[in-house]
Structure 1
Amino acid sequence: MKNLCLICRGGKRLCGKLLCPIELKAKLFIKNMNIINKKEYIGSSPPSVFVGRIGYPKVYIGPMVPPIIGNTSIMDMPEAWINESLENIINYRYILIRGEIPYYVDLARKSDRLIESLQELSMGINSVDTEVQLIKEPLKIIKIDDNSQIFGPSAPLKNFYIYSIKVDRKIEKAYYDWDLKAKDAIFQLYKDNIPISRIQKAFSMGVFGILKNRKLVPTRWSITAVDSIISKRLIEEIKNYDTIDKYYLFHREYMYNKFIAIFIPMKWS
């Protein structure tokens, strides 16, 4: 079967979407790539870290930093995107420069300056002033795929420095508790109203868990794992709730997606 995107080229809307995602990504990609053309950057990380999955257990890790000084926290906080336009969200992703260096995942529990810096960054509350030195200019590539994740340019990491940071004290407490299981730390932080995206970043950098078991977790896997841990705990709590007495239907539309939830008056099975 031929690729619809190659046939359509954004003009016929053969996929049925109101907005061509590839066309929009290409437009914003060109806009941002014009200002990313050197090997050293000083910028305020949202804060944001990245752990790849290719080559596991040896993966690429590194900070994500925009060439901007100031409050950039919204760039990596999906919880704050609910009223943002699709164009703004794509723009946030493309402007984040990713420095990368290969590490074995079990080094999360070792004493290493870069690991410690990235773990500290993952625990940050507000935007963090940083400096990123790359071995070469960032590689600028756009994937012609309407379902691919959006990432900014990347390059091998040479050095990374944090100038000032304020960490989340509750996450820091879990970090220093070497006997606390990761799943217990995650759910307690959720109950303490710590943003899930912040929990996911810290979990990805191996901040939680019994010390001997701590590992770096690829970003994509950490998102799934944290959601799963929290959801399973919540389901166990919901099972003890009183049964409702009628049907409920909830509907929401966001970013060309429709979400429907149906509540049924019967015991959980």
Structure 2
Amino acid sequence: MAVRCITCKGRGLCGRPVCPLLIKLEELAALPRIGNRLSGESPPEVFVGRHGYPVVRAGPLVPVGASPGQPALDIFRIISMRTRMIRSELEIHVHDAKKPGRLLESAQHIAMSSKPVETEVSFVKPPEGRMLFDGVLSPMGPGGRIEDMDITGNPSVPRKVDQLVGDTDVRASSAVCELYSSSISIDHISRLLSMGLLGHDRRLVPTRWAITASDDIIGNALRSRVLDMPEMVGYELYSGGILGNHFEILLMPGAYSFELIEIWHPGSAWSPERLWIGSDREGSTGRRSYSTLAGGYYAARLPVLEHLLRIKRQAGVLALREITEEYWAPLGVWVVRDAARAALSSRPMRFESLDEAIRSAESRMRSKSSDWRRYSNAFSRQTTLLSFFPAQGKECVSGREHNPT
């Protein structure tokens, strides 16, 4: 069961109508009782489902009571807060994003806002159903079909967002990169993409697809810039994480490459019975197919590329993600992204050899390299010319713009 669960992640590949792991999680969630009408501040957050595509269910998430705000770093508290996020749903064709009706247009205005938006929603009948857990999305409470919706507050729309939403000549991928360069958050960008507000041919995009697409589009743009940087000299290791997701991220001499190894321990979210290890990778030309590690691959790669740009180096990257039983419920790929960023914000440890770096990483991990080494290509990397001249290499490094503190 564990092998199927880790590769399926709730998508029903086992043939069962409902994922038994998700049923267990839902039993822990005390779902709120809701009437036919709900008002509150959308965080702002919107949801577009994928079932039935191209006719999907879409709408803003509205909290029962006060808006949850930023999640606390405790899984019980996060799930408790997320149960109050009620999905308000319109059944709509994805191409209706081009000429939205009043209700969809209101949802789009919420997606454009950078701050919570006061919203009133009335439902055909009280929201009901299961709590939604997913490997990419944050957990969400039950959903209900919208009868009517009004925005009672003023959305706070950044100027760059307003500009690019109004520009139908710019490609969606270009708009995503321009928004990112203007310090618009990745969550905000994925909302805009999901609600069909970017690009020429505008359409609604299921939220889980939009999240991964945003990570991928931005990552590919950053990689093209990283390839113009000089190569790393020596080995640098970064360590850290959050919520039972621990990263050891090793930067190695050579041209850019990225390899992610995931080590799921028994009792973690998708590996209840036994240890599971998987890996995926890319070289300087990127990937041509979707990663076997799904959205977590792109979420882990983005902070790495951001870091390489900060230190103005390209490198071979080995990212080890170890998931323990502390991460017993899936909370979305934001956890992967934030855990990798937490690791990369640590002080780097420097080593002369790959073996020294791996021994250091092992000292903070539950698993040993003998468990996962055969899943990696890092150990077959050719020795670079600079590695034969460690003294000269250090002199080169000392003159670069890199402040590890």
Same fold per superposition (TM over 0.5): yes
Aligned positions of 1:172-251 closer than 5 A = 172-210=162-200, 213-251=201-239
**Bigger Cα displacement from structure 2, 134-143 vs 188-197:** 134-143
Query: Does the 8 Å CA contact 2:26/2:130 hold for their aligned counterparts?
Result: no
- Structure 1: tracts of 5 or more residues without a match: 6-19, 75-80
Offset of 1:86 from its aligned partner?
1.4
Which residue is 2:58 aligned to?
61
> Are positions 1:39 and 2:36 aligned together?
yes
Alpha-carbon distance in structure 2 between the residues aligned to 1:189 and 1:98: 27
Which residue is 1:166 aligned to?
156
Residues 16-52 of structure 1: CA deviation (Å, up to 9, x unaligned): xxxx99767533x21xx2x423110111110111100
Provide the secondary structure at the position in 2 that maps to 1:38.
coil
Alpha-carbon distance in structure 1 between the residues aligned to 2:109 and 2:141: 22
> Are positions 1:117 and 2:106 aligned together?
yes
Which residue is 1:103 aligned to?
92
Residues 133-175 of structure 1: CA deviation (Å, up to 9, x unaligned): 01111114257x8969622011111111101122222111100
Offset of 1:267 from its aligned partner?
2.0
Alpha-carbon distance in structure 1 between the residues aligned to 2:227 and 2:44: 36
Alpha-carbon distance in structure 1 between the residues aligned to 2:170 and 2:48: 23
> Are positions 1:48 and 2:37 aligned together?
no
Alpha-carbon distance in structure 2 between the residues aligned to 1:59 and 1:194: 27
Of the two, which has the highest radius of gyration? 2
Q: 1:249 to 1:188 in 2, by over 3 A?
A: same
Quick one: which amino acid aligns to residue 58 of structure 2? Answer: I
Quick one: which amino acid aligns to residue 91 of structure 2? Answer: P
> Are positions 1:152 and 2:153 aligned together?
no
Q: 1:63 to 1:2 in 2, by over 3 A?
A: closer
Quick one: which amino acid aligns to residue 108 of structure 2? Answer: Q
Provide the secondary structure at the position in 2 that maps to 1:92.
helix
Query: Does the 8 Å CA contact 1:73/1:126 hold for their aligned counterparts?
Result: no
Offset of 1:114 from its aligned partner?
1.4
Residues 62-82 of structure 1: CA deviation (Å, up to 9, x unaligned): 11101224x5442xxxxxx4x
Query: Does the 8 Å CA contact 2:195/2:203 hold for their aligned counterparts?
Result: yes
Alpha-carbon distance in structure 2 between the residues aligned to 1:67 and 1:87: 18
Provide the secondary structure at the position in 2 that maps to 1:151.
coil
Query: Does the 8 Å CA contact 1:206/1:216 hold for their aligned counterparts?
Result: yes
Alpha-carbon distance in structure 1 between the residues aligned to 2:218 and 2:177: 6
Alpha-carbon distance in structure 2 between the residues aligned to 1:241 and 1:198: 29
Q: 1:2 to 1:198 in 2, by over 3 A?
A: closer
- Work out the number of aligned pairs and report it: 240
Provide the secondary structure at the position in 1 that maps to 2:152.
strand
Identity of paired residues, percent? 34
* Selected match of 2:80 from 85, 88, 91: 91
Q: 1:151 to 1:235 in 2, by over 3 A?
A: same
Alpha-carbon distance in structure 2 between the residues aligned to 1:146 and 1:186: 24
Which residue is 1:267 aligned to?
255
Alpha-carbon distance in structure 1 between the residues aligned to 2:109 and 2:34: 28
> Are positions 1:128 and 2:129 aligned together?
no
Query: Does the 8 Å CA contact 1:40/1:131 hold for their aligned counterparts?
Result: yes
Query: Does the 8 Å CA contact 2:131/2:142 hold for their aligned counterparts?
Result: no
Alpha-carbon distance in structure 2 between the residues aligned to 1:60 and 1:146: 16
Q: 1:4 to 1:203 in 2, by over 3 A?
A: closer
Alpha-carbon distance in structure 2 between the residues aligned to 1:242 and 1:4: 42
Alpha-carbon distance in structure 1 between the residues aligned to 2:99 and 2:202: 9
Q: 1:156 to 1:252 in 2, by over 3 A?
A: same
Q: What is the TM-score normalised by the length of structure 2?
A: 0.55
Q: 1:173 to 1:123 in 2, by over 3 A?
A: same
Alpha-carbon distance in structure 2 between the residues aligned to 1:244 and 1:120: 44
Query: Does the 8 Å CA contact 2:63/2:85 hold for their aligned counterparts?
Result: yes
Query: Does the 8 Å CA contact 1:93/1:151 hold for their aligned counterparts?
Result: yes
Query: Does the 8 Å CA contact 1:252/1:259 hold for their aligned counterparts?
Result: yes
Offset of 1:195 from its aligned partner?
0.8
